[in-house]
Amino acid sequence: MTDASPRFALPFIVPGQAAKEEFHNEALALLDGLVHAAVEGAPAAAPPADPAEGEAWIVAAGATGEWAGRAHCLAIRSAGGWRFVAPVPGLSVWDKAAGLRRAWTGSGWSDGAVSAAALVIEGQQVVGPRQGAVASPSGGTTIDTQARAAIDALIATLKSHGLTE
């Protein structure tokens, strides 16, 4: 039997252990920061000067002070000081300052981009996988420059939204 959980290293209470409440309370403090996690802002390299209990931050690479050596971890402020949780792929947090979700990819925190196979609204797929390029109109016996300009504008819009190559 191990003494901590496999994903977030939450401490287990083991048979014959003294001060069981300390291990239980430590696990609860970590869970409090992880369940529906929210961070104050973008990754930071230095701890805030006066953090409130319950605030959480993403530790940036090259962190200093109490955060040194904790790059990419979640730093959660508690009554007992800083608690750190190493992220696992799929962990996501709400960035309060930016108003977006950040997710740990396994090598870094996302910038709010959302990955999905499709966008479905009320049961209807409205965006799916990216399609190939759409050619601009050419040829024909009657050339309508206004219609071609409108079609080119539509193609440019599809490209700018990433829907076509």
In angstroms, the CA 87 to CA 9 distance is: 11
Token pair 């609204």 is found at 121
In percent, how much of the chain has pLDDT > 70?
Answer: 99
pLDDT band at 163 (very low <50, low <70, confident <90, very high): confident
* Cα distances (Å, whole numbers) of residue 14 to 26, 27, 32: 14, 13, 22
pLDDT value at 1 more than 70: no
Q: What pLDDT digit, counting tens, does each position of 36-65 carry?
A: 899 999 999 999 999 998 899 999 999 999
Nearest-5° Cα angle at 27, 85 to 46: 30
Phi-psi region at 163: left, alpha or beta (left = phi > 0; alpha = psi -120 to 50): alpha
CB-CB neighbours of 41 under 10 Å: 12
Mean pLDDT of the region 146-158: 90
Long-range contacts, 68-74 (Cβ 8 Å, 24+): 72/43, 72/104, 72/108, 72/109, 74/33, 74/34, 74/37, 74/39
Q: Which residues are 75's β-sheet partners?
A: 57, 84
Has residue 7 got a pLDDT over 80?
no
> For the chain, how big is the Rg over CA atoms in Å?
24
pTM above 0.75, yes or no: no
